[in-house]
Amino acid sequence: MRLYPLFKKAVIENFRDWKILIMGITFAPFFVVLMYFYFGEATETYRVAIINHDRGATTRDGNMINAGEALISEIEKFSGQDGAIVLKVSREQEMAAAQKRLKNKSVDLIVEITENFSQALLDYKEGERPPPAVVRTFGDPGNPKYIMAAAWSDSLTYQFAVEWSGLQGPLMFEAESLSPLKSLSDFDLYVPGLLGLALMMLMFTAAATLIKEKDKGTIVRLRISNMTTTEWLVSVSLSQVIIGLLSMGMTYLTAVALGYHTTGSLLAMIVVGILSCLAIIAISVMVAAVLRTVFDLMTVGCFPFFILMFFSGGMFPIPTISLFALGERSINVNDILPTTHSITAFGKILNQGAGLSDVVFEMGAIVILTVLYFTIGIWMFTRRHMKAK
């Protein structure tokens, strides 16, 4: 068998030509750090400027109340499942000052409590039916945090009014988490995509391992030897799986070092990782088939990498374009990318605590796409680089 010498050579060369390797295995961990600094590990916080014009009211037994202050206190105390504050409150006296802060994006929402807020709630509680208490909110639709900040604020205000007035309205919100785990921060949500990114970087090391032989002319020696193309590609794949797992491991450990934790199955993560490595190597073989030099790979080769990176759904949500339905599942255009399924599987495992049996569909899809792309890749590569012309 010529697999072992081919495998050994591929490993030695990859580690000695360390520049591409370093780029490949540090790219995703670097992004993890970047995302951590951008989003932080905690629940997302929304900044709210509150202007309290409430004059308060006096109850029948002569007590002074200020429902506006009580509402602000409730908003300030509100926290997520992980105990982190959701709405960070700052007080403003004038609307002009609050709007200035909204424009320069130092707050996401303005809440104005009107003068008769306490009186209206008190009247309702004592059985009268005056005009309803008014709380105004202001925001910038161009700010993606505005809607969430308003939703939380409105919900808390409505709940507060119901409790204070003692009136049961026709509507009640009951929010329940479907996940048995902790609430997820934006950073948590990015980690599965970043694991996918770690594996996508394999495209460069795997394709470079192949295309370098063409670039340097050493492919001639391989072609005239007893080695078969399949033996070569299998040995290169094995060496690349090691690099892929190394890259994935470094990315995961970087996330863990920055506070990320999961109760998902590490075995499932590794199995999905290995399958995903093979899928990306299959794509690399196709990429290497159409290129001639390592320079081509580092320039033209970035295009398929960007397709994987941005259309697999790991970096940001992309619109779904359905192709057909498979049972209850809709098969979308980006499902032809194996990394779409990899990132979905990583998301289920890491953020929803799934095990291998929960990601059978994703693993099946990765395997089918790997076989398909390897078949096409080997055919293209053999035809382009290995056969006499």
Partner 1 sequence: MMQTENGKWIIRLDSLRKSYGDLVAVKNLSLDIRRGEIFGFLGPNGAGKTTTISMICGLLKRDSGEIKIDGFSLEEDYGRCKKLMGFCPQDIVVWESLTCLEQLDFTARLYDVPKIVARNRSLELLGILGLEEKKHKLAKTLSGGMKRRLNIALAIVHDPEILILDEPQAGLDPQSRVLVREYIRSLAGEKTVILTTHDMDEADRLAERIGIIDHGELLVLDTSNNLKDQVGEGDILEIKISDGQEEKLERLRQNLPENLHHLDHRHGNLRFAGFNIPDVLSDLLEKFRRLDLKIEDMTIRKKTLEDVFISLTGRRLRK
Measured from the CB atom, the residue of 100 and 223 that comes closer to partner 1 is 223
Smallest separation (angstroms) from partner 1 to the CB of 6: 8
9 scored as a contact of partner 1 (CB under 8 A): yes
**Which tokens sit at 343?**
């990132």
Smallest separation (angstroms) from partner 1 to the CB of 214: 11
**Which tokens sit at 92?**
């403003």
3-state secondary structure of 55: coil
Contact assessment for residue 7 and residue 235, using Cβ atoms and an 8 Å cutoff: yes
Smallest separation (angstroms) from partner 1 to the CB of 9: 5
Smallest separation (angstroms) from partner 1 to the CB of 238: 16
At residue 388, φ and ψ (nearest 5 deg) are -65, 140
Measured from the CB atom, the residue of 116 and 209 that comes closer to partner 1 is 209
Smallest separation (angstroms) from partner 1 to the CB of 250: 23
Out of 8, 105, 261, 292, the only residue in the binding site for partner 1 (CB under 8 A) is 8
**Terminal Cα distance for the chain, rounded:** 28
Out of 53, 223, 307, 311, the only residue in the binding site for partner 1 (CB under 8 A) is 223
The torsion of the CA quartet 337, 360, 196, 188, rounded to 10 degrees, works out to: 130
Measured from the CB atom, the residue of 58 and 228 that comes closer to partner 1 is 228
Out of 151, 220, 256, 302, the only residue in the binding site for partner 1 (CB under 8 A) is 220
277: nearest Cα among 351, 206, 199: 199
3-state secondary structure of 133: coil
Pairing assessment for the beta strands 46-52 and 87-91 based on DSSP bridges: parallel
Site string for partner 1, 167-206 (x = CB under 8 A): ----------------------------------------
Out of 55, 91, 105, 216, the only residue in the binding site for partner 1 (CB under 8 A) is 216
Smallest separation (angstroms) from partner 1 to the CB of 17: 5
Out of 227, 246, 298, 356, the only residue in the binding site for partner 1 (CB under 8 A) is 227
For CA atoms 257, 261, 266, 270, the dihedral sign is: negative
| Bridge partners, 57 (sequence order) | 65
| Bridge partners, 79 (sequence order) | 85
- Going along the chain, which residue ranges are E strands? 46-52, 57-58, 64-65, 87-91, 109-113, 135-138, 322-326, 329-332
CA–CA gap between residue 52 and residue 221 (Å, rounded): 81
41 scored as a contact of partner 1 (CB under 8 A): no
Measured from the CB atom, the residue of 9 and 145 that comes closer to partner 1 is 9
Out of 104, 177, 226, 357, the only residue in the binding site for partner 1 (CB under 8 A) is 226
384 scored as a contact of partner 1 (CB under 8 A): no
Out of 225, 230, 299, 320, the only residue in the binding site for partner 1 (CB under 8 A) is 225
**143: DSSP letter:** S
388 scored as a contact of partner 1 (CB under 8 A): yes
Measured from the CB atom, the residue of 221 and 329 that comes closer to partner 1 is 221
Which one of the spans 3-11, 110-118, 126-134, 171-179 is the region binding partner 1 (CB under 8 A)? 3-11
3-state secondary structure of 179: coil
245: nearest Cα among 269, 263, 262: 269
Site for partner 1 in 12-31 (CB under 8 A): 12-13, 16-17
Residues making contact with partner 1 (CB under 8 A): 2, 4-6, 8-9, 12-13, 16-17, 216-218, 220-227, 388-389
